[in-house]
Amino acid sequence: MSEKIRWGLLGTGAIARCLAENMPASKTGVLTAIGSRTAESAKTFGDKYKVPAAHQHACYDALLADPEVDAIYVSTPHPMHAEWTIKALRAGKHVLCEKPFALNYAEVLAMVDAAQQTGRTLMEAFMWRCHPQTHALLKLIREKAIGDVKLITATFGFKNGFNPDSRLWSN
């Protein structure tokens, strides 16, 4: 591998955009390629985030075949996570898969098996374990800032304005 991990983004949705916007600040990675289901989406995304035209791929398989890519960030809709994670691992790429990792236990086992067979790193992009807020919370609990904590109940949500074309609103 090169000095920095050369990332390929599989998908051009909101999560991929977030990663692309923040990649320039990374000390360990660089955005190298994009794979989309259409040439138009790959070009629009690639141009916006300064991905060279030669690495703007109009299909996911072309991204996986790109020799300039070390690792793939799978940011497709959830039902496609296992399929493309396994394909990326078999293509010799390391994989960071967006959450949820898979739809069920059998898919997770197949993904882990593919990682073991190929000797590639596989990880779920579950940010909360490494998030600064989590570290701050743990520090407060250890310091007993509010006494002995016996139970924490938490939920996760986000604001999502109505967009009939969004995968979250369309059926």
- DSSP, residue by residue, the chain: --SSEEEEEE--SHHHHHHHHHGGG-SSEEEEEEE-SSHHHHHHHHHHTT--GGGEESSHHHHHH-TT-SEEEE-S-GGGHHHHHHHHHHTT-EEEEESS--SSHHHHHHHHHHHHHHT--EEEE-GGGG-HHHHHHHHHHHTTBTB----------------TTSTTT--
Residues annotated catalytic, as ranges: 99
